[in-house]
Every structure is written in C-alpha cells, then in structure tokens.
Amino acid sequence: MYKGIGLQSQTPRGSGSNGYLQSNKFKPKTWKVAENVKDTVGVTRNANKEIIEHNRKRQIQLKLFILEDKLIDQGYTDSEIAHKLQESRIILEAAADQNDGSSNLVKF
C-alpha cells in the first residue's frame, strides 16, 4: 500500500496483481467550493420549539431527581417524598413558564 492506495498486503504475491500503482488522471487536483455553499454561510435558523420544551422538561426532571435523593438521605417516607416532589414539580413548572423557557429555573 502506498499513501492509502493499492494493495492491502505488503507484497503483491497472490493478489492477482503485479502491485503497480497508477494515479487517477481524471480526478481534479483542486477542490472548488460550490456557489450554493457560499450563499448559506452566516444563515441563522430559529430553534425548534419542541426541542426547547423537551430540554426544559429534562431540566425540571433533573432537579426533581436531585431533590428526591436529598429527601431520601434525610429519611423521609415514600409518601412524604412523593408529596414533596409533586409540589416541587408544580413550582418548577410555574417558574419555568414565568421565565419563558430560559435556563434560570428555581434552585433548591
């Protein structure tokens, strides 16, 4: 193999080839940038609302998991934990709605 071209083995023996390498004469030597690529540079797109909503819900769920771990470590019962998580979810969703989807959620 020479510069990633040709036979994979070190010798041409048993390959059915003499090992001679040719260059592709029809391959262009220089790469040209397509005209349509130049036009799309700097184009901004609006964020997908579904993705933003999904990320907001993930952040809320993450905060609830952290709160649940803290409550378990503090020794609360399962029913108390479920009640506090339900209240916290309502508070976090209300705070996220007030912030209009920004990442500044209420911290515990």
Query: Model confidence over 41-75: pLDDT tens digits?
Result: 566 677 888 998 999 999 999 999 999 999 999 99
If one compares 63 and 26, the residue with the highest pLDDT of the two is 63
For the chain, the average pLDDT equals: 76
What is the structure's pLDDT at 25?
Answer: 75
Q: CB-based burial of residue 96 (10 Å sphere; 0-12 exposed, 13-18 middle, 19+ buried)?
A: buried
Q: Both tokens of residue 55?
A: 């990320």
pTM, full prediction: 0.51
Domain ranges of the chain: 49-98
Contacts of residue 96, defined as CB under 8 A and 6 or more positions apart, other chains included, come to: 56, 59, 60, 105
Q: What angle do CA 33, 34, 38 make, to 5 degrees?
A: 85
| Span of 20-29, 51-60, 82-91 with lowest mean pLDDT | 20-29
